[in-house]
Structure 1
């Protein structure tokens, strides 16, 4: 490495996963052309990387928040482009970072010529900040992980339905806890001593999780918030509709009907499952298919029993959809729910659609995933969207979610009095 070339990550090389960093290079020759690279490994050992070509200014400096990439994984001024544009070394692989104790470690480097490294720096991107508690939960039927901000509280509480399939993801829950929320993320199956698969879902499980949160000594307010994604979106809608104690619900690229599995409550069937037709899954030359049109139409008479009567919910909704979701037609589902609420004289909702964004809207600055294996479809599926637009949508969405919960989750003391609110 060149002793005079310096790569700086500001304000620090150690930050939270959802925080931006300023990447600057100094000590280059005037107008020198170099390649900037980022490289990381996820929890499965899958390597993700990106690169971009930059030209130094007259002083031999490059600032990623000022200077455009000339070629590579992205083009133009993109301060965090090296992060969101990282791709797996193999096709159809999604970035996995589910354990909050494992930071996202990214090695940035500056290279010239045939890959000669001039400078490098490591960015440690934490999922959980100092002082946030992480407690595995095995209480009654509930299995998950509870995250608590430091201090006595009271804090607003959120139930995170991030994952639907086997296993458990802590990423979104821990990042919300960093902001001053008590967050419980739960698994439905395939975790700990839970069954490996299921054929039906019982709303009682979520009722138990809600009561667990409400009784926690750090939780204030009358009720809790719920945040969802994909299939768990309709579970969040059902919880908000049928269960007490749900004050605010975030729905991200979900469905308006109960999908895939029949839903029960108190041993009685609430909604049959809206199913899908694999014959409507469209193959593509990329090796990943389009599932957008596979779900059956919930408005047909034979499927109407699967529709969730969200007009009965008391708390507000935040609907967030992606215009180019290729997993299923979440934009149409959102429009359907907005129309339903308006028809019943309801205005307890906000809705937003992100152009050119794909299905997996997550906390920002992780690698964009265009396609990966879909457990329910049983094949590789395109998630849709375009990387740059998707990354911008995630930044906006993440702020919007926090604002929505702070506004709508009542608490005995204002969350804004807590130092985490502005973090």
Structure 2
């Protein structure tokens, strides 16, 4: 009788002491830049299971992914080593459940995707259409002890991200691209967590600044660099600059204009040329940048094929317009519009994807590096180019890369690239960015 009571208390089954289905994920609560392991156990051997992941973006929209797996001889699946045979990705990919998350077809992805907070992922395993186990995984973007200070002073607008703890750290100026507004808060917070004071500088698209990306003064960016270097939290009088796309163009022009201010330059999907501003009156072209109130010389762009007839949600590839503009320009016009990157007295890391649909970042980065190399390249500049990757190769690792079309004004631009390849590129560029900053700006030195 005592045995019967004990079995009832245990769940009315002689097998109650055996481990049931479970899914585990870890390490939990660490930086999103650190790889995690997802494991399923307690299943029948050789069983077909579906492992899924879900999270929410800053708009509250649900992103989902999944992989199909067969359990091994002891009823386990290690997602890091087991091949997925279906779902949102296939093959062996420890990061597959994260980069392959996607929205329903009728929902738009925000930019940036996440705020500077933790990313909480719900993970589950289904067997025969029924969820048999769940768990959660918290991935840290901003260190809890870090700070974010909104900045609106000295004519500057942005946010200052401080690492946790007391002391002085190297400073990094972060420049976003043609989306405008404040730069990606998740990227800024993650860079700050690596031991940098990061100033995410808005240069258009917020109150008090130009509404469009046209005729932005170089003096504004240089003033931000000086302001950052003079902050009491910042060590040394030279800072790093990290820019993406048009922000990379801006960063290269700034570092070429006042080389002594910059100790390191990271240019994600950059340009070697100054291009026209964006969002101005139809039929007119002005420079993206000014110096002393005058336009910085630029190369006139051409219209993208199909832009005028594209449906509202039809993505167009704008990279060919930039390619045709270069191919048809005279040598003189190219020389006038060229950014004098050989004047930069710091290491430059260029990153690019050769399937970039927005502009030809690989060709542009290659030309810029060739210019630096021909000038002697004593600072160890380099290019990380990723065949098959798209425009979004810089930023926060392990966020979804399935968003390949980006709304921009009245049109939608194709960012290009294979999502898995682009995701791998992001992981590589983040590691390389941190490595360059650490080498060029060791803590406590300028």
**TM-score, with normalisation over the residues of structure 1?**
0.90
Shift of 1:265: 2.0
My pick for the range that moved more, 66-75 or 400-409, is 66-75
Q: Does 1:211 align with 2:226?
A: yes
**Given the superposition, is the C-alpha separation of residues 132 and 363 from structure 1 closer, same or farther in structure 2, using an over 3 Å criterion?**
same
Q: 1:138 aligns with which of 152, 163, 179?
A: 152
Q: 1:393 aligns with which of 403, 407, 425?
A: 425
Aligned partner of 2:358 in structure 1 is: 327
Q: Distance in 2 between matches of 1:198 and 1:284?
A: 23
Structure 2 counterparts to residues 20-99 of structure 1, below 5 A: 20-90=35-105, 93-94=108-109, 96-97=111-112
Higher relative contact order (CA 8 A, sep 6+): 1
Task: Determine if contact 2:116/2:186 at 8 Å carries over to the other structure.
Answer: no
Structure 2 counterparts to residues 120-131 of structure 1, below 5 A: 120-131=134-145
Q: Distance in 2 between matches of 1:283 and 1:107?
A: 42
Aligned partner of 1:248 in structure 2 is: 264
Aligned partner of 1:297 in structure 2 is: 326
Q: Distance in 2 between matches of 1:266 and 1:406?
A: 34
My pick for the range that moved more, 76-85 or 343-352, is 343-352
**Aligned partner of residue 88 in structure 1, secondary structure:** coil
My pick for the range that moved more, 164-173 or 249-258, is 164-173
Shift of 1:395: 1.3
Shift of 1:235: 0.3
Aligned partner of 1:272 in structure 2 is: 298
Task: Determine if contact 1:370/1:384 at 8 Å carries over to the other structure.
Answer: no
Task: Determine if contact 1:370/1:385 at 8 Å carries over to the other structure.
Answer: no
Q: Distance in 1 between matches of 2:52 and 2:114?
A: 25
Q: 2:401 aligns with which of 327, 344, 368?
A: 368
Structure 2: where are the runs of 5+ without partners? 1-15, 278-286
Q: 1:224 aligns with which of 214, 217, 239?
A: 239
**Aligned partner of residue 117 in structure 1, secondary structure:** strand
Q: Distance in 1 between matches of 2:53 and 2:309?
A: 32
Q: Distance in 2 between matches of 1:45 and 1:136?
A: 24
Shift of 1:398: 0.9
Shift of 1:35: 0.7
**Given the superposition, is the C-alpha separation of residues 10 and 342 from structure 1 closer, same or farther in structure 2, using an over 3 Å criterion?**
closer
Aligned partner of 1:344 in structure 2 is: 375
Cα deviation digits, residues 219-252 of structure 1 (max 9, x gap):
1123000111111111011010002411111111
Structure 2 counterparts to residues 139-158 of structure 1, below 5 A: 139-158=153-172
Q: Distance in 2 between matches of 1:276 and 1:246?
A: 33
Q: Distance in 1 between matches of 2:190 and 2:148?
A: 12
CA RMSD of aligned residues (A): 2.5
Q: Distance in 1 between matches of 2:306 and 2:363?
A: 17
Task: Determine if contact 2:256/2:340 at 8 Å carries over to the other structure.
Answer: yes
Aligned partner of 2:281 in structure 1 is: none
Q: Distance in 2 between matches of 1:68 and 1:98?
A: 28
**Aligned partner of residue 399 in structure 1, secondary structure:** helix
Shift of 1:93: 3.5
Cα deviation digits, residues 123-144 of structure 1 (max 9, x gap):
2222201211111111122111
Cα deviation digits, residues 363-386 of structure 1 (max 9, x gap):
21000134223426x422221111
Task: Determine if contact 1:254/1:333 at 8 Å carries over to the other structure.
Answer: yes
My pick for the range that moved more, 20-29 or 87-96, is 87-96
Shift of 1:45: 2.8
**Given the superposition, is the C-alpha separation of residues 150 and 39 from structure 1 closer, same or farther in structure 2, using an over 3 Å criterion?**
closer
**Aligned partner of residue 213 in structure 1, secondary structure:** helix
**Aligned partner of residue 73 in structure 2, secondary structure:** coil
**Aligned partner of residue 293 in structure 1, secondary structure:** helix
Give the greater-gyration-radius structure (CA). 2
**Given the superposition, is the C-alpha separation of residues 270 and 413 from structure 1 closer, same or farther in structure 2, using an over 3 Å criterion?**
closer
Q: Distance in 1 between matches of 2:128 and 2:405?
A: 34
Cα deviation digits, residues 335-386 of structure 1 (max 9, x gap):
211222233333432112111111111221000134223426x422221111
Q: Distance in 1 between matches of 2:270 and 2:300?
A: 13
